[in-house]
Structure 1
Amino acid sequence: MSMRKPSSRAAVPVIEIIKVGAAWEVHWDYQEAPESSILFKRREYLSGYIDGTMDDIGIHPDHVCCASGLTGSVKRLTHDQAIRLRDALDRLLIPIVTNEFNRLKNMGDLPHLRLVTPDQE
């Protein structure tokens, strides 16, 4: 069994805005890492928040290919909608993963918790 080298930074989701013709797209995807498990654990909350945000921005449901706290692809947006969605995703997803990374790192720094493996929790 190989041990994953501890990272000094959280593997935060990648959030991109892409210009396609006259329209814009926003794509996001989580990164495989222990701290990303929080996105799975909180998926219902995150999906509801993202749905509400897209509704608030005025994004038509037909433009949403998929949208969850883990991954998403939203197409045929105005530039303003794309910027607002990206900013909302940044404010939502980045702190959740970063906080979980810090929590896991801090737990790893406690000698009496080092021997606990995920399947023992």
Structure 2
Amino acid sequence: MRKTSSRAALPNIEIIKKGAAWEVRWDYQEAPESSILFQRGEYLRGYIDGTMDDLDIQPDNVCCASGQTGTVKKLNEDQATRLRDALNRVLIPIVTKEFTRLQNMNSLPHLRMVDVSEA
């Protein structure tokens, strides 16, 4: 049987100061619970695009932005902080809930996840 982790592999979301400007970067962590970020990709992309529009972030400042990874540059401190907070509000709960769901599924005797090497 596959060993499960005791903690969810939460996305890394960070703010970096680059001279006078700020940058926000995020990246998912490779784990079974992270697959939910790909499954909910369309929803997450809409949420992130809407948040950036609300924060008046110019499209030229967006290197990439998806539910899995992203880099947004040339922000002021308030924009960077608010974008990070918005990403924390959406990405962390989605991955945490999927982790809990997978843990619960794995504890059911008739639905235990089987390691591919055992099959």
Give TM-score scaled by structure 1 length. 0.91
SS of alignment partner, residue 26 of structure 2: strand
- 1:115, distance to aligned residue in structure 2 (A): 5.2
Match of 1:91 in 2: 89
Match of 1:54 in 2: 52
Match of 1:7 in 2: 5
SS of alignment partner, residue 98 of structure 2: helix
Q: Distance in 1 between matches of 2:113 and 2:36?
A: 21
Where in structure 1 are there 5+ consecutive unaligned residues?
none
Tell me, yes or no, if the aligned pair for 2:16 and 2:23 is still in contact at 8 Å. Answer: yes
- 1:117, distance to aligned residue in structure 2 (A): 6.9
Percent identical among aligned pairs is 76
Where in structure 2 are there 5+ consecutive unaligned residues?
none
- 1:6, distance to aligned residue in structure 2 (A): 1.5
Alpha-carbon RMSD across the aligned residues, in angstroms, is: 1.5
Output the amino acid matched with 1:96.
I
Residue number among 56, 76, 86 corresponding to 2:74 in the alignment:
76
Runs of 4+ in 1 over 6 A off after TM superposition: none
Q: Distance in 1 between matches of 2:113 and 2:44?
A: 31
SS of alignment partner, residue 69 of structure 1: coil
User: Matched residue pairs, number?
Assistant: 116
Q: Distance in 1 between matches of 2:112 and 2:77?
A: 47
